[in-house]
Amino acid sequence: MKPLSYRVGAARIPVFIGDSDSPLKNQLRLAPKAAVVVDKNVAALYKNLFEDIGSADGAVTAVLDATEENKSMEKAEELLSFFLEKNIGRDSVLFAIGGGITGDLAGFVASVLQRGIGYCHVPTTLLAMVDSSVGGKVGVNHKVGKNMIGAFHQPNAIIMDTRFLETLPKQELICGMGEIVKYAVLRGEVFFDFLEKNHTRLLNKDKKTLERIVRMSVETKKRYVEKDTREAGVRAHLNLGHTIGHAVEAATNYTKFKHGEAVLIGLVAEAHIAMHMKLLRPSSFERILKMVRQIARQANEKVPLDDALGRLKYDKKVKAGKVRFVLPTGIGRVVIRDDVSMKNVVDAMKFVASDGLISLS
Ligand SMILES: NC(=O)c1ccc[n+]([C@@H]2O[C@H](COP(=O)([O-])OP(=O)(O)OC[C@H]3O[C@@H](n4cnc5c(N)ncnc54)[C@H](O)[C@@H]3O)[C@@H](O)[C@H]2O)c1
């Protein structure tokens, strides 16, 4: 696998994308001592892989039930105790093998264990490959909100073995697609056009298409991470689709929509807002809408409108009391605006409901 890489300060983080065992084996060989946190579903599906890791000298493995409830301080503390008692220390490398939950939690553990040890992320979901594993954001949830406690801790390496995606359920694949459509809108014509022509191949898990799209997505995220490592400026563009998306997720108590599904809804709603503010041409809106229609499921899930509107105020993108929206102004262009009227938001929500992506209550 020829690695892509992204730079953060003096560090260059290699990202291996492909279908070979060697990058993981090499990283294991390089680690004086390996600590492993592995998603329990992945461990069950890929027994052979774990026999290999188990045979690595002195490797210590913790199996994780990857739920949002377990992405917590309590679970982090449990893992810290487990690893400290097994003498995992400064010279060890922690391998996180699983989706975004495993990566966020294990990365957080690595960031605080003896003030930070090396870690290596092996993302096994499409979302974790294209999004959560890249950029160094690690953390856990708190009862006040999701991802409220965390750190920036860059991995030593990220190893994306697309063979893991063979066992990924369709809904999880769609989840990753939400972020991929977002990247395509951000990146521009070449990516968007490729996705328009190849989304069916992607949904059918065509190996070459998956690898190409993962690479294009990582290249897109890399541009933002390198320019704005600690999310103080332009990295905010990655929140495209997320202002409305988060409101929909939160108003349905995170039980009706997977995150990426909510992002797809958010993308259409925010493009609708942009069109009605005369920032986006109707033809570009239609392209985004058509793409989302082909990927998202038609959901009759009820979203309480007033609750969703109320949630916007608590979004992390609120600044000085104003809700900040990232709005598309074309394929490959966005703008940040804090003057979106409530009427525009309501109209956009009504539109996504009329299109069958949600139903309103
Ligand atoms: N750190 C960041 O920058 C960042 C960015 C986006 C999302 N996130 C976080 O990522 C999390 C969501 O990640 P996710 O969507 O990967 O979810 P996840 O980790 O919950 O994985 C989804 C499901 O897929 C299963 N799974 C994983 N790999 C599999 C495989 N190869 N085959 C079959 N099943 C498999 C898991 O067991 C789980 O049931 C959220 O907690 C979110 O907050 C973090």
| pTM, full prediction | 0.95
Q: Which pLDDT belongs to residue 317?
A: 61
Average pLDDT for 295-317: 83
Per-residue pLDDT band at 145 (split at 50, 70, 90): confident
Residue with tokens 């406690």: 149
Angle between helices 22-30 and 47-54 (to 10 degrees): 20
Q: Which pLDDT belongs to residue 137?
A: 96
Segment among 32-36, 40-44, 276-280 with least mean pLDDT = 32-36
| Gap from CA of 98 to ligand 1 centroid (Å) | 7
Q: What percent of the chain has pLDDT over 70?
A: 96
CB 175 within 8 A of CB 259: yes
- CA distances, 288 to each of 2, 177, 226, 267, 270 (Å): 32, 13, 27, 8, 10
Task: Tell me, using a 6 A CB cutoff, whether residue 179 lines ligand 1.
Answer: no
Mean pLDDT estimate for the chain: 93
Q: Which pLDDT belongs to residue 59?
A: 87
**Triad 4, 327, 177: Cα angle to 5°:** 45
Q: Which fold has domain 176-360?
A: Dehydroquinate synthase-like, alpha domain (1.20.1090)
Among 122, 127, 154, which residue has the most ligand 1 atoms within 8 Å of its CB, making it the best to mutate?
Answer: 127
Q: Which pLDDT belongs to residue 316?
A: 59
| Gap from CA of 173 to ligand 1 centroid (Å) | 10
For the CA of 176, the closest atom of ligand 1 is 15
In this predicted structure, the answer to whether residue 1 has a pLDDT above a threshold of 70 is: no
Q: What percent of the chain has pLDDT over 90?
A: 81
Q: Which pLDDT belongs to residue 56?
A: 65
Q: Which pLDDT belongs to residue 50?
A: 73
| Gap from CA of 121 to ligand 1 centroid (Å) | 12
26/326 Cα distance (integer angstroms): 40
Around Cβ 264, how many Cβ atoms within 10 Å? Answer: 29
**pLDDT tens-digit series, residues 45-84:** 998 877 767 666 678 999 999 999 999 999 999 999 999 9
For the CA of 68, the closest atom of ligand 1 is 41
Per-residue pLDDT band at 104 (split at 50, 70, 90): very high
| Gap from CA of 214 to ligand 1 centroid (Å) | 15
246/277 Cα distance (integer angstroms): 22
Task: Tell me, using a 6 A CB cutoff, whether residue 39 lines ligand 1.
Answer: yes
**pLDDT tens-digit series, residues 311-355:** 887 665 666 668 899 999 999 999 999 999 999 999 999 999 999
For the CA of 164, the closest atom of ligand 1 is 31
Q: Which pLDDT belongs to residue 55?
A: 64
Task: Tell me, using a 6 A CB cutoff, whether residue 92 lines ligand 1.
Answer: no
DSSP label of 206: -
Task: Tell me, using a 6 A CB cutoff, whether residue 66 lines ligand 1.
Answer: yes
Reference 36, options 24, 23, 20; nearest CA is 24
DSSP letter string, 171-187? HHHHHHHHHHHHHHHHH
Task: Tell me, using a 6 A CB cutoff, whether residue 41 lines ligand 1.
Answer: yes
CB 199 within 8 A of CB 291: yes
| Gap from CA of 225 to ligand 1 centroid (Å) | 20
* Tokens encoding 51: 């026999």
Phi, psi (5° rounding) for residue 277? -90, 10
Q: Which pLDDT belongs to residue 146?
A: 86
For the CA of 179, the closest atom of ligand 1 is 6
- CA distances, 148 to each of 20, 45, 73, 260, 347 (Å): 35, 31, 11, 19, 31
Which CATH architecture describes the domain 4-167?
A: 3-Layer(aba) Sandwich (3.40)
235/251 Cα distance (integer angstroms): 25
Task: Tell me, using a 6 A CB cutoff, whether residue 155 lines ligand 1.
Answer: no
Q: Which pLDDT belongs to residue 133?
A: 97
CB 24 within 8 A of CB 159: yes
Phi, psi (5° rounding) for residue 94? -95, 125
Q: From atom 12 of ligand 1, which residue's Cα is the shortest distance away?
A: 100
Domain residue ranges in the chain: 4-167, 176-360
**pLDDT tens-digit series, residues 165-181:** 999 999 999 999 999 99
123/116 Cα distance (integer angstroms): 20
| Gap from CA of 123 to ligand 1 centroid (Å) | 8
Task: Tell me, using a 6 A CB cutoff, whether residue 131 lines ligand 1.
Answer: yes
